[in-house]
Amino acid sequence: MLTKNIKDFVKAELTGWKKQEIIGLAIVFSIIIINAIIVKDSIIAVISAICGILYSTIAGKGKVSCYFFGLMGTCCYSWLSFDNKLWGNLILYMCYYFPMQVLGIFEWKKHLKQTTKEIVKIQMSTKQALQMTILAFVCCSIAIILIKYFKGSSPFFDGITTVLSVFGMYLTVKRSIEQWIIWMIVNGLSTIMWLNLVLNGAKTYATLIMWFVYFILAIYFYVNWKKELAGQQEQD
């Protein structure tokens, strides 16, 4: 019985993939691995990048298995944040991302479509979106001041990405499309932050590539979720 359940779960997680998505992942992973060999990139950064990209992609597909890769990537990225003195990101990943991803597994399993085993997507109301925007702005301002006080290496980028990631992860667990808008901002700023670190000597090229791919994925899945939600509204 257990073996059958595992087989059914794996089968459901592997369905619904588009050819271009698989090819895209293969190209990105090849670039990361080749780059790591050439420039002798950090092994932790490579593992973090691969797990992180798999997490983001599978989350966009609405599959529960994304969280297994997310947990592994979280541990690796936490070490990179510690090594590069990104205190905001370190606290975020260890104290928030890790427990939220565990919670996400149970939350998503409650809202799966019977046919595809993908999550049912939702959209926030205008009032909810406005309230969250105001709260995020206030929290970002406080975070920047605190990180600057503790002499973090990138207080502006670290503060904003940390706070918005909290909101983004919350919306991810809640299955809300607005998460992708937040991830666009977070991933774009994170790409700039890690580019700056690389230019200043940090050998974390895979992490830089990871954040750039995250940015592209956020745009891609926002468009996909938007189409799916529009289709649901037409059916209703």
Average pLDDT, whole number, for the chain? 87
Neighbours of 165 (CB within 10 A): 23
More confident residue, 153 or 98: 98
**Quick check: 156 pLDDT over 90?**
no
Task: Give CA–CA dist 207/39, Å, rounded.
Answer: 13
Per-residue confidence (pLDDT) for residue 3, from 0 to 100: 66
With a pLDDT cut of 70, the percent of the chain lying above it is 92
Q: Tokens standing for 201?
A: 């000597």
Task: Give CA–CA dist 178/199, Å, rounded.
Answer: 32
Half-sphere exposure of 55 (CA within 13 A, CB side): 25
Per-residue confidence (pLDDT) for residue 122, from 0 to 100: 93
Model confidence band, residue 168 (pLDDT cutoffs 50, 70, 90): very high
More confident residue, 202 or 159: 159
Q: Which of 84, 197, 162 lies closest to 205 in space, CA to CA? A: 197
Give pTM, 2 decimals: 0.83
Per-residue confidence (pLDDT) for residue 176, from 0 to 100: 96
Per-residue confidence (pLDDT) for residue 230, from 0 to 100: 87
State mean pLDDT over 69-78.
91
Q: Which of 44, 46, 66, 68 lies closest to 57 in space, CA to CA? A: 66
**Quick check: 1 pLDDT over 90?**
no
Q: What is the DSSP string of 67-99?
A: HHHHHHHHHHHHHHHHHTT-HHHHHHIIIIIHH
Per-residue confidence (pLDDT) for residue 124, from 0 to 100: 93
**Quick check: 159 pLDDT over 90?**
no
pLDDT digits (tens, 9 = 90+) for 12-38: 676 778 888 889 999 999 998 998 888
Question: Are 206 and 42 within 8 A, CB to CB?
Answer: yes
Per-residue confidence (pLDDT) for residue 179, from 0 to 100: 95
Ranges 30-34, 37-41, 134-138, most confident: 134-138
Q: What are phi and psi of 122, to 5 degrees?
A: -135, 170
With a pLDDT cut of 90, the percent of the chain lying above it is 46
pLDDT digits (tens, 9 = 90+) for 180-200: 999 999 999 989 888 888 888
Q: How many residues can be counted in the chain? A: 236
Residue 85, phi-psi category: left (phi > 0), alpha (psi -120 to 50), beta (remainder)? left
Task: Give CA–CA dist 214/188, Å, rounded.
Answer: 8
